[in-house]
Structure 1
Amino acid sequence: MATPRKEKPAETPGYWPTTKMAELFELTARRIQQLTQDGVLKTHDTPAGRRYNVGEATKDYIKYLRTQLDRKASAQNDKLETDKLQAEVDIKSAKARVAELQLAELEGTMHRAEDVEAITTDLVFNIRSMLMAMPGRLAVDTAELASPAETSARIQEEVNEILLSLSQYHYDPEEYKKRVKDRQGWAMIEDDEQAE
């Protein structure tokens, strides 16, 4: 006796298998299965087996995509907000640092290179003028001296005077403060305040 042939159950209208859903959503069958395991898509028992309700699955997948998009947008907004806050912190820190440097400059505990250069240049010109004046001062004195030893002693005396003058040079914080105020235009403001 021949065994009766099983007929393939008819497909239920509106219910599709995994492969057709994958084609509809332009995904792989594996991705459809993963979405089902994650609870995004649901299958239903039909005479042909487990199938997806096309309308329901489409709505659920669209809802899932919107949720993913919202999460990404929220994450981007959070990153933008974090970046904005970090930029504000950086700006405020930089402004505070500039204020600290300006205060240190006004207090005379820090000097700009240009101020040090200007003061040093003044000192060098002062030394230069003393050295340039030395031959004129020594010409008459050394002409009257009788021996090279006396001439050498007189020149040594003049050099020692210049060196003594240089050794008495001292750091004047007020000179630096004056330069800072002049550069910043604060000297005029203080003069105006004192005049009132």
Structure 2
Amino acid sequence: MAESGDDKELCKVDVIANLFGVSVRRVQQLTQEGIISTTEVKRGRRYELTPTVQKYIKYLSDKAYGKAQSETEAKLKEQKLKAEIALKESQGELHKLRTEIAAGRYISVEEVKLDYGRFFVSFKKFAMSIPSKLAGRLTGFVDPVEVRSIENDLQKEVKRLLSSFVLSSVPDDGSKTEKDRSN
């Protein structure tokens, strides 16, 4: 049904569908794709007859000559192109990584874990020996009871620092709370 208002002939979606020879759903798709547009009136959304027909004719003409793509198609092609670029870049990075692994520039995770394990054992022995070495140097200058007290205080502080170091290096997988890790 066509309505008149302000010298504009406004039509419902079914009238436009009948005029174009397509389904109501297709007219709705054309509206969603931005090919044709509606106008808001008191009784809902309506199509201005003349501009709607002109836009649809232009769309069909452009489509026939291969000129126009809907905005949706253009966006999808752009997204596809970006995805292909990202894929090519990741394939390039993967190839580079495989080449470097084959050239011996990388070592296995197990080797790294063993090396770090050995390093931290040595570091712990070194750090734990500091208080007794310092106490040995203070022996001639300070009362022996005071030296022992300083050595004990330093020993506790080194243990605390090593413990906090270990706690901060453990990745938080969400399965343990801070309280669980401190016990």
Whether the TM-score (by the shorter chain) exceeds 0.5 is no
Q: Which fold has the larger relative contact order, with Cα–Cα distance below 8 Å and residues 6 or more apart in sequence?
A: 1
TM-score of the pair, normalised by structure 1 = 0.30
Structure having the larger proportion of residues in helix: 1
TM-score of the pair, normalised by structure 2 = 0.32
